[in-house]
């Protein structure tokens, strides 16, 4: 298959082509085209109900695509089940936290590392050496990830009792444990105070510098403008603008969509 190229000729890691999603008679997304460049932070903004989370859900296999295509590198993943999309290399977080509250921080991260394993039931039940070694490797990688993110002291803590900002960071760590090619982050700073928001911004910049491509939904305009290399804007399910933050900030269509005039 021919490598996917963006409009400026460089390699795109994620491509959405002519994507539409309908719920009954309601068009949630209409013919959306997007190119996410390898190694960039790409922001996605728009008013409430614009279709941002629906786009993430379509890419990650959570909702059914009515029309169009999704490619990761040179592989079409359109219509894949969520676990298939995760194995292909797309990890995501959710607007509302999806953690296992009664499990430890470390075990939550280990769950992410299990996405690339298969046929573990009998191996675990019978204590096969290969399965035991695989479990140890996944656990070691999870501990290394927590250490790198400054969360290692929390490894044995139950998620339920932790502050909101730390739980957001743990969800991000679990996504990283899947060894993704692209991270889809849905409102990472939602519900955070200023200090927590600044901490998560620093964490995302660090992750990006280490080579991760990030596709980010965010309502905090200071955060989205400060982090993004490029920004796409949705309104009523359609892409109405795309460009660098400076251009998006003064785009008349974008201003109208947010201010209503």
pLDDT tens-place string over residues 143-163: 988 888 888 999 999 999 888
- Mean pLDDT score, 202-211: 90
Asked if residue 251 is part of any domain, the answer here is yes
Better-scored residue on pLDDT, 115 or 188: 188
Domain range holding 246?
A: 1-89+181-261
Which CA distances in Å does 16 have to 21, 58, 69, 113? 12, 10, 6, 26
> 82 with 57, same domain?
yes
Tokens describing residue 228: 């993004």
**Whether 84 and 190 share a structural domain:** yes
pLDDT for 129: 65
Q: Which of 244, 239, 241, 243 is nearest to 252 (CA)?
A: 241
Do 66 and 137 fall into the same domain?
no
Higher pLDDT, 165 or 71: 71
- The pLDDT, as a whole number, for residue 224 is 94
pLDDT bracket for residue 94 (50, 70, 90):
confident
Residue 249 clears pLDDT 50, i.e. is over it: yes
pLDDT of 4 strictly over 50: no
The rounded mean pLDDT for the chain is 86
What tokens appear for 143 in the block?
Answer: 């501990």
Instruction: With a cut of 70, say whether residue 128 has pLDDT above it.
Output: no
Q: What percent of the chain has pLDDT over 90?
A: 52
The answer to whether residue 94 is domain-embedded is: no
Give the residue from 179, 208, 233 where a domain finishes: 179
For residue 195, is it within any domain? yes
Indicate the pTM of the whole model: 0.84
Based on the domain organization, do 131 and 246 belong to the same domain? no
Boundary residue ending a domain (154, 179, 204): 179
The whole-number average pLDDT for the span 190-219 is 88
pLDDT in the model for residue 237: 96
Same domain, 258 and 132: no
Tell whether the model's pLDDT for residue 75 goes beyond 70.
yes
Domain end marker among 163, 179, 195: 179
The per-residue pLDDT for range 6-52, each reduced to its tens digit, is 444 457 899 999 999 999 889 999 999 999 999 999 999 999 999 99
Residue 230: pLDDT band with limits 50, 70, 90: very high
Confidence of residue 212 (pLDDT cuts 50, 70, 90): very high
Sign for the CA dihedral angle at 218, 162, 209, 93 comes to: negative
Q: How are beta strands 182-186 and 12-23 bridged, if at all? A: unpaired
- Residue 211 near residue 148, CB atoms below 8 Å: no
């Amino acid at each position: 298959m021919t490598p996917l190229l963006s409009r400026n000729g460089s390699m795109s890691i994620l491509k959405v082509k002519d994507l539409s999603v309908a719920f009954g008679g309601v068009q949630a997304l209409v013919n959306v085209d997007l190119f996410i460049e390898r190694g960039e932070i790409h922001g996605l903004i728009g008013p409430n109900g614009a279709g941002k989370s629906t786009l993430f859900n379509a890419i990650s296999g959570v909702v059914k695509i009515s029309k169009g295509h999704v490619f990761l590198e040179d592989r079409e993943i359109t219509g894949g089940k969520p676990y298939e999309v995760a194995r292909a290399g797309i990890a995501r977080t959710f607007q509302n936290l999806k953690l296992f509250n009664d499990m430890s921080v470390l075990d939550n991260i280990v769950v992410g590392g299990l996405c690339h394993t298969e046929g573990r039931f009998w191996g675990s039940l019978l204590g096969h050496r290969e399965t035991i070694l695989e479990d140890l490797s996944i656990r070691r990688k999870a501990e290394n990830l927590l250490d790198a993110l400054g969360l290692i002291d929390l490894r044995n803590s139950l998620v339920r009792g932790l502050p909101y900002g730390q739980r957001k960071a743990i969800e991000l760590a679990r996504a990283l444990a899947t060894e993704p090619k692209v991270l889809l982050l849905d409102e990472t700073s939602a519900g955070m105070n200023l200090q927590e928001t600044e901490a998560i911004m620093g964490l995302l910049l660090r992750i990006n510098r280490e080579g991760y491509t990030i596709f980010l939904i965010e309502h905090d305009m200071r955060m989205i403008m400060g982090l993004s290399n490029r920004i796409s804007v949705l309104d009523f399910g359609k892409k109405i603008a795309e460009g660098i933050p400076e251009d998006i900030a003064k785009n008349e269509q974008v201003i109208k969509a947010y201010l209503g005039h």
